[in-house]
Amino acid sequence: MVNENARFLDTGTQVYDFYEEFLVVCPKCAGLARVLIDRDELEKMSKKKIDRLRNLLFAPRRLVCLSCLHRDYRKCTQIAVGGGVDWYFRLPLWLDVPCCGERLWAYNRQYLETLENYVGAKLRERTIEGRRSFLSKLPTWIKLAKNRAEILRAIEKLKAKLPAGV
């Protein structure tokens, strides 16, 4: 449950910080699939190049369906960060629902919970780093107090789509 009196402190989480996992719709069975970083390849890259963020963003990705065992693999040399699809396979997100005449989406549980805390808070504050955070760049409709209740209901619907442990 959201604490209606909660205060939210935005410490500057950037959209890049969600590189680790995307929950997507499996292209084969329409079930829940995960897009995950290839840890072995990331380790190899990190030994050669020390640009940590670059390595994290460009390490190859594995697609793993939790329902039909569909697997895929992709190494991208270019990615488009942000938007309502995963950045590697460009698949639709599992956590995506109509809301306030728009679409509310989240990359993963961490993103959804951050959004929930932000939307649910009556008072939003930010550190200097918070000025560049992904929250500061959210569309206006998500920030409006009049949409709060509807957005929180949509977030509840999305949470119900998350199996335990994902």
- Applying CB under 5 A, the residues found at the interface with Zn ion are 26, 28-29, 31, 65, 67-68, 70
Q: What angle do CA 138, 139, 140 make, to 5 degrees?
A: 115
Q: Which residue, 24 or 99, is less far from Zn ion as judged by CB?
A: 24
Nearest approach, Cβ of 62 to Zn ion (angstroms)? 14
Whether the CA torsion 4, 5, 6, 12 is positive or negative: it is positive
**Please, which residue, 25 or 45, has the CB nearer to Zn ion?**
25
**Token pair listed for 14:** 């950037």
To Zn ion, the closest distance from the beta carbon of 34 in angstroms equals: 11
Q: Which is nearer to Zn ion, 68 or 80 (CB)?
A: 68
Nearer to Zn ion, 28 or 74 (CB): 28
Q: Are 151 and 119 in contact (CB under 8 A)?
A: yes
Q: Shortest approach of Zn ion to residue 28 CB, angstroms?
A: 4
Bridge partners, residue 104, by sequence: 97
* Rounded Cα gap, residues 157 and 97, in angstroms: 8
Smallest gap, in angstroms, from Cβ of residue 30 to Zn ion?
7
